[in-house]
């Protein structure tokens, strides 16, 4: 949620910051702004909507500035308007700051600052930061110490960038519980929420830790200190050459469509070098360092949010069936506050596309306090979850720019399948067929994506409905939940996912001719029961769009419309089914003329609770 970028010493600092904001707009796109400093003079430019609108406000390439900081806002405190857009300044416009996070004690600070003569022009929590900075400067503190004192008053999560005319050419940065990373390229410095901002510009990044603060000056190495005691801190730069690459939409109309079509390569990348069907061997190098502790695992708790949570539900069935280890999946936001018994043989698996999900990080802190083994499944090297787990498996999905997760979900389910096989004994009879199917899966995905006319036709037919029900059984139950989430995320249609066996326990009351059901009816041991559920819906005049295995004509005779997907093993079928439902949601949103990549009220990386 929210993205920040700042730069000092670049030949076109404003251009780099605006481009960085455009790259980060998946983190927020309600409003955007930039503060530029040249010869000590600050200029602030803001806009409502996407950061690209800043290019209409000033000449990005012709504007000269030594330093600049920028921000994409995802509204939390106060509505979307110009006063609430970042950057925020002190009353005299000599200090500017941007913040990603939530300042929990901002009301108390605001009251204190108001008492001391400061006035506020926005409803945001961030505006207290430049005023605090100003207050301590007025008290006589040097700029660096004044910034540190201001940070010491903040309670909550933050990643802050700031400029002041009392220290021209310096960019101040600090973080606590929100991501902030530095990139160095020759004499210039870049600070941002994500390495994707400077990927291709520098091959190394320095990941700041909580309570880190840094003053960045062109041609000088970063000097990182502690907010707590001003002591020097050493952070070793890390190679990021293979972490992220800046990407465009290419020939695709939207990032979401592009990322769905990258699913086949996603599965290949997630399995390459890890599965060896000829030897019945799964080798996950990221878990080797904790191999002995994993062997002692008697229970697994998967913590995640949103789409990652639904991937976890599939992982639960995979691990229990293949490895025989009891698993439960908990929403990370609930896990933090539950009191339940754990022992030293409980392993926690955290799943997060961004690796920065605040609730999931909170769940890991709890696991750490209980001395449990912590494993991560992430798609972002260098992220907090990547760095705060004992070991993990990288998804290799590549950058995902669209807010609605697609290929990241595909990679998570693929990795969870590999984890289940790795936890199982080599003698498990499912391992070899599963490995062979994972190898074959990319070609099946490519075949399915070669002709999506049936999905597009269904989307056109059903786009005007106001409600949807998604049903499935077994491995298809979590897919129903994820399919419903995708539809509501990008099309704003009310959609609910249910276990098909629950139909008679309430959901059937909603069914009529205006309430369609998407039934996951691909071949599996529960198909006959799912077909009975379809009959129940049809008997109540409910339209049914079914997802069926290619060649199964029985489903065609029962449902109103059918989307066929390639056959696969029951355990890997969710990957194919979810891709079909992602495309369905995408085409419904396109049919409705909506902003597919940036749905309203949502942001990609949820870095606050």
From the centroid of its chain, how far is CA 405?
8
Closest alpha carbon to 459 in 331, 259, 594: 594
Q: Looking at 2, 7, 99, 395, which residue is catalytic? A: 2
Assigned CATH topology for domain 451-609: Rossmann fold (3.40.50)
Tokens of 41: 């003079």
Tell me the CATH number for domain 3-239. Answer: 3.60.20.10
Q: Are residues 354 and 377 in contact, defined by beta-carbon separation less than 8 angstroms?
A: no
Q: Alpha-carbon distance 182 to 494, whole Å?
A: 41
What kind and span of H or E run contains 68? strand 67-73
Q: What is the pLDDT of residue 492?
A: 97
Assess whether pLDDT exceeds 50 at residue 219. Answer: yes
Q: Which of 65-69, 90-94, 103-107, 219-223 has the lowest mean pLDDT?
A: 219-223
* Mean pLDDT, range 552-566, rounded to an integer: 93
Tokens of 171: 């960019």
**pLDDT-derived band of residue 591, with 50, 70 and 90 as boundaries?**
very high
From the centroid of its chain, how far is CA 68?
26
Q: Which phi and psi angles does 133 have, rounded to 5°?
A: -55, -45
Q: Are residues 35 and 87 in contact, defined by beta-carbon separation less than 8 angstroms?
A: yes
* Peptide linkage before 87 cis (omega within 30 of 0): yes
Q: Are residues 599 and 404 in contact, defined by beta-carbon separation less than 8 angstroms?
A: yes
What kind and span of H or E run contains 450? helix 431-450
Q: What is the pLDDT of residue 339?
A: 84
What is the number of other CB atoms lying within 10 angstroms of the CB of residue 284? 20
Q: Alpha-carbon distance 388 to 125, whole Å?
A: 28
Q: Alpha-carbon distance 352 to 486, whole Å?
A: 17
Q: What is the pLDDT of residue 516?
A: 97
CA atoms within 13 A on the CB side of 174: 26
* Mean pLDDT, range 585-606, rounded to an integer: 88
* Domains in the chain: boundaries: 3-239, 247-449, 451-609
Q: Into which CATH architecture does domain 247-449 fall?
A: 3-Layer(aba) Sandwich (3.40)
Q: What is the pLDDT of residue 605?
A: 60
DSSP string, 128-180: HHHHHHHHHHHTT--HHHHHHHHHHT--EEEEEEEEETTSTTEEEEEEEBS--
Residue 592 bears catalytic tag: no
Q: Which residues, including other chains, have CB under 8 Å from residue 104's CB and lie 6 or more apart? A: 155, 156
Q: What SS3 string covers 34-66?
A: EEEEECCEEEEEEEECCHHHHHHCCCCCCCCCC
End-to-end CA distance of the chain: 10
Q: What is the pLDDT of residue 238?
A: 81
Interval 526-553: pLDDT, tens = 999 999 999 999 989 999 999 999 999 8
Alpha helices in 492-571 (DSSP H): 527-539, 553-558
Residue 453: Cβ-neighbour burial (10 angstroms; 0-12, 13-18, 19+): exposed
Angle at 425 between CA 419 and CA 430, to 5 degrees: 75
Q: Alpha-carbon distance 197 to 30, whole Å?
A: 19
Query: For 12, which DSSP code?
Result: T
| This prediction's pTM | 0.82
Q: What is the CA radius of gyration of the chain?
A: 25
Q: Looking at 374, 444, 488, 604, which residue is catalytic? A: 604
Q: What is the pLDDT of residue 429?
A: 85
Domains 247-449 and 451-609 share a fold: yes
Interval 313-341: pLDDT, tens = 999 999 999 999 999 999 999 998 888 88
Assess whether pLDDT exceeds 90 at residue 413. Answer: yes
Across the chain, mean pLDDT equals 91
Q: Are residues 143 and 92 in contact, defined by beta-carbon separation less than 8 angstroms?
A: no
Q: Which phi and psi angles does 535 have, rounded to 5°?
A: -60, -40
* Mean pLDDT, range 353-368, rounded to an integer: 85
Alpha helices in 299-356 (DSSP H): 306-323, 332-335
Region of 164 (left: φ > 0; alpha: ψ -120 to 50; beta: rest) is: beta
Q: Alpha-carbon distance 562 to 549, whole Å?
A: 10
Region of 200 (left: φ > 0; alpha: ψ -120 to 50; beta: rest) is: left
Residue 604 bears catalytic tag: yes
Q: What is the pLDDT of residue 368?
A: 84
């Amino acid at each position: 949620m929210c993205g920040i970028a700042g730069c000092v010493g670049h030949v076109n600092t404003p251009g780099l910051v605006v481009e960085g904001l455009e790259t980060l707009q998946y983190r927020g796109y309600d409003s955007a702004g930039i503060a530029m400093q040249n010869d000590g003079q600050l200029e602030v430019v803001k806009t409502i909507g996407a950061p690209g609108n800043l290019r209409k406000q000033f000449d990005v390439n012709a504007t000269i500035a030594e330093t600049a900081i920028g921000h994409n806002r995802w509204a939390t405190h106060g509505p979307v308007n110009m006063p609430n857009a970042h950057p925020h300044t002190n009353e005299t416009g000599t200090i500017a700051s941007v913040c990603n996070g939530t300042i929990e004690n901002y009301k108390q600070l605001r009251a204190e600052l108001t008492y001391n003569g400061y006035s506020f022009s926005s409803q945001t929590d961030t505006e207290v930061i430049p005023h605090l900075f100003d207050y301590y400067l007025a008290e006589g503190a040097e700029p660096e110490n004044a910034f540190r004192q201001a940070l010491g008053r903040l309670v909550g999560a933050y990643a802050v960038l700031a400029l002041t005319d009392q220290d021209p050419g310096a960019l101040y940065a600090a973080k606590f519980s929100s991501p902030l990373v530095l990139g160095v390229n020759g004499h210039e410095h870049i600070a941002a929420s994500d390495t994707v901002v400077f990927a291709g510009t520098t091959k190394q990044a320095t990941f700041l830790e909580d309570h880190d603060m840094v003053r960045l000056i062109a041609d000088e190495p970063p000097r990182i200190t502690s907010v707590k005691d001003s002591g020097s801190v050493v952070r070793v730069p890390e190679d990021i050459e293979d972490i992220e690459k800046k990407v465009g939409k290419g020939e695709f109309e939207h990032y979401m469509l592009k990322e769905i079509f990258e699913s086949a390569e996603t599965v290949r990348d997630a399995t390459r070098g890890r599965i060896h069907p000829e030897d019945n061997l799964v080798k996950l190098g990221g878990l080797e360092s904790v191999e002995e502790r994993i062997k002692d695992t008697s229970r697994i708790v998967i913590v995640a949010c949103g789409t990652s949570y639904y991937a976890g539900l599939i992982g639960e069935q995979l691990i229990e069936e293949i490895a025989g280890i009891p698993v439960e999946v908990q929403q990370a936001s609930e896990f933090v506050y539950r009191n339940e018994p754990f022992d030293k043989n409980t392993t926690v698996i955290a799943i997060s596309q961004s690796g920065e999900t605040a609730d999931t990080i909170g769940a890991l802190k709890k696991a750490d306090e209980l001395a449990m083994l912590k494993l991560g499944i992430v798609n972002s090297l260098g992220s907090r979850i990547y760095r705060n787990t004992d070991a993990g498996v990288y998804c290799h999905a590549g950058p995902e720019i669209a807010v609605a997760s697609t290929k990241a979900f595909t990679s998570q389910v693929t990795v969870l399948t590999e984890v289940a096989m790795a936890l199982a004994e080599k003698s498990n009879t499912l391992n070899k067929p599963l490995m062979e199917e994972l190898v074959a899966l990319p070609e099946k995905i490519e075949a399915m994506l070669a002709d999506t006319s049936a999905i597009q036709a269904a989307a056109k037919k059903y786009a005007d409905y106001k409600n949807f029900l998604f049903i499935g059984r077994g491995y298809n139950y979590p897919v129903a939940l994820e399919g419903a989430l995708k539809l509501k995320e990008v099309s704003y249609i009310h959609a609910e996912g249910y276990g098909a066996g629950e139909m008679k326990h309430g959901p059937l009351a909603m069914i009529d001719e205006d309430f369609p059901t998407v039934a996951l009816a691909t071949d599996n041991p529960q198909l006959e029961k799912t077909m009975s559920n379809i009959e129940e819906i049809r008997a109540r005049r409910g339209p049914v769009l079914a997802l069926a295995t290619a060649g199964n004509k029985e489903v065609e005779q029962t449902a109103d419309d059918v989307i066929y997907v390639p056959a696969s093993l029951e355990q890997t079928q969710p990957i194919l089914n979810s891709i079909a439902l992602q495309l369905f949601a995408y085409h419904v949103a396109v049919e409705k003329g909506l902003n597919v990549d940036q749905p309203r009220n949502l942001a990609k990386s949820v870095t606050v609770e």
